[in-house]
Amino acid sequence: MSLRPLVRGAQWSRAAFQTRYQTRYNLSISPPTTLTARRGLNTVPKCPEPTCNCADTPSMPLGSSIDQKANLNGLIAAYAQQVLICTGKTDWASRIEEDNSGDNLAADLKELLGRGGMFSDPFHNVSIVNASFPSAISTQPEIQTTSVYLVPSFKYIPFLPRVSFDSAQALVKGYLLPKKLHPMNDGLSPIHKDRLTRNETYQNALYGVRDVDDVLVLICGHGQRDQRCGIYGPILQEEFERQLPRAGIDVLQGPVINESISTPQLPGVAGLEAETEAPATARVGQISHIGGHKFAGNVIVYLPPKHKINAGDPHPLAGNGIWYGRIEPKHVEGVIKETIINGNIIADHFRGGINQEGEIIRL
């Protein structure tokens, strides 16, 4: 294997290249964060049995079985940030950057952040996935824009103009690059270091950015990549959307922002909001490939920093993303109860997680 530099102008040590290939093959660069020990969080060994009727577990096509034996703990690729691109679609080309003949935001971001890109950094991985959530609607619908969620920073950026590559660069430079480079980048020139470091002044170029307060339930439904996820995706989405309201969590549909509709402020509403706690809300969507097709259904639950348990106390998993595998319809009620409501990790299905510091969580 050649050890020539992967970034122009950089002088890399052998240790740096070993780390680069550890990242490529999803191996841990440093000892994984142990969430239970560090944060005093709880686990339950298995998903509780459902108490109500749920959809049947779908059968898989011949030769596409689900791996029921592998230990799931740790089967998650390390990433610092995940970009959820709101496409309004539930399936995409096998390689999402090839969707719509390559004219899409995923392709733009991968061009900037991927190998050989202007902001390529082998020690700072950004996960780019498509999501079925619709984009926001502006007062100028003739200008095509795309919305994105950034997690676990829990930011929503509603309007990225598709006619300008500058907005994609502002997103990368203002939100996705690290505030501090990995020590393996110490040998880079000052100019190179500056290019790979976040500059928050670029955030001013993006309009309407807001914090995310909704629970995000993401289900891999990328059928053109793998039939198993394509089968599980819509079934699990429907089941989560049916079960969440039963647990007192409102499921939101449609665009987060629709500037074409004027909603009048009702008298007394502002005072009411100050006195009462807003109900918990969630958005459920399908996403493109995240790895581990043979562990379908694959589900990521992102719990916003302000999320609380039923008693009103801070939620133990607030600000974290929890990855589960081998989720069947019969497990949905248990995931809602144990993880979203009570703040417990279900060990039998746990693939890994991420906290707001970008630390990957393993048990």
Mean pLDDT value across the chain:
87
Whether the predicted pLDDT of 272 surpasses 70: no
Mean pLDDT over residues 240-244, rounded? Answer: 97
| Pick from 198, 173, 171, 183: nearest CA to 122 | 183
**Distant-in-sequence, close-in-space partners of 354: CB < 8 Å, separation ≥ 6:** 79, 82, 152, 320, 321, 360, 361
Q: ω into residue 152 within 30 of 0, thus cis?
A: yes
Phi then psi for 274, rounded to 5 degrees?
-70, -30
Q: Could you report the per-residue pLDDT of 67-116, keeping only the tens digit for each?
A: 999 999 999 999 999 999 999 999 999 999 999 999 999 999 999 999 99
User: Residue 66 pLDDT more than 60?
Assistant: yes
* Dihedral angle over CA of 12, 16, 18, 23, nearest 10: -120
Domain ranges, ordered by start, for the chain: 33-59+67-73+213-257+278-362, 78-211
At residue 2, the pLDDT reads 34
Does residue 117 surpass a pLDDT of 70?
yes
Q: What is the reported pLDDT for 140?
A: 80
Q: Which two tokens stand for residue 291?
A: 């790895």
DSSP class per residue in 107-125 = HHHHHHHSTTSTT--TTS-
pLDDT at 348: 96
Per-residue pLDDT band at 262 (split at 50, 70, 90)? low
Q: Please give the residue that has the higher pLDDT: either 277 or 192.
A: 192
Higher local confidence (pLDDT), 2 or 271: 271
Q: For 138-182, how does the pLDDT look when each residue is reduced to its tens digit (9 = 90+)?
A: 888 777 899 999 999 999 999 999 877 899 999 999 999 999 999
CB atoms within 10 A of CB 16: 21
To the question of domain 33-59+67-73+213-257+278-362 being in CATH 3.40.30.10, the answer is yes
C-alpha separations of 72 from 88, 165, 351, 361 in Å: 30, 39, 5, 13
- Both structure tokens of 157: 């950026």
Q: Smallest Cα–Cα separation from 247: which of 49, 52, 43, 46?
A: 52
DSSP letter (8 states) at residue 279? P
Q: Residues 304-310: what's their mean pLDDT?
A: 91
pLDDT at 356: 92
Say what the pTM is: 0.87
Cα dihedral 163/167/171/177 (nearest 10)? 110
The two structure tokens encoding residue 177: 């690059």
Q: Which of 287, 281, 282 is nearest to 232 (CA)?
A: 287
Cβ-based neighbours of 287, under 8 Å, separated by 6 or more = 84, 129, 130, 131, 132, 218, 219, 220, 221, 222, 300
CA 100 to chain centroid: 22
Who's near 35: CB < 8 A, 6+ residues apart?
41, 320, 345, 353, 355, 361, 362, 363
Percentage with pLDDT > 70 across the chain: 85
Q: State the first-to-last Cα distance of the chain, in angstroms, to the nearest integer.
A: 33
> What whole-number percentage of the chain has pLDDT above 90?
75
